[in-house]
Amino acid sequence: MKDFLDKISSYNLFNYLLPGILFTVFAEHITAYKIMQSDIIIGLFLYYFCGLVISRIGSLILEPTMKKVSFVTFASYKEFARVSAKDPSVETLSESNNMYRTLCALFLVLLAIKPFEIITNWLSINADVKAYILFALLFVLFALSYRKQTKYITQRIEAEKDEHS
């Protein structure tokens, strides 16, 4: 267990595990859903996964929305790669930036979970159907995350090629 905890980077801790733990604690207080785990090992993996999902919601929904309404603006990825190669503090600043985005997404998810519970109860949607809805949404979320990550990798490779040409 100690080895596992030692291998968790600060990025994983602040962008996945912490938001996942906060989500489960708050969600149990505002809904009838029982998410907290008595087994600490299973709990850590579940909380990490919840945080990962929240982080992806921040990346795929919150970030583009905030860009579209000009709440935030980004430098090009090519410039980010160029500057971060010269200034390691940019990576640290980006990690903090992602943590704030994930925390914003956490509170959006918490705002959405109670209406989801109320609507599905009102429509008498059973637990199995709710699970399939959740699995479908998670599939879409991670498929879009995969596409976005592939785009970042490609942009990083292109930026590196441009740097050496």
109-115, long-range: CB < 8 A, 24+ apart: 109/23, 109/54, 109/57, 110/23, 110/26, 110/27, 110/30, 113/27, 113/30, 113/31, 113/33, 114/30, 114/31
Write down the pTM of the prediction.
0.88
Residue 4 has a pLDDT of 59
Q: What is the mean pLDDT of residues 10-34?
A: 92
pLDDT in tens, 79-116: 888 888 888 888 889 889 999 999 999 999 999 999 99
Residue spans per domain, the chain:
2-163
142: pLDDT strictly greater than 90:
yes
Task: Place 7 in a pLDDT band, splitting at 50, 70 and 90.
Answer: low
Residue 159 has a pLDDT of 77
Mean predicted lDDT score pLDDT of the chain: 91
129: pLDDT strictly greater than 90:
yes
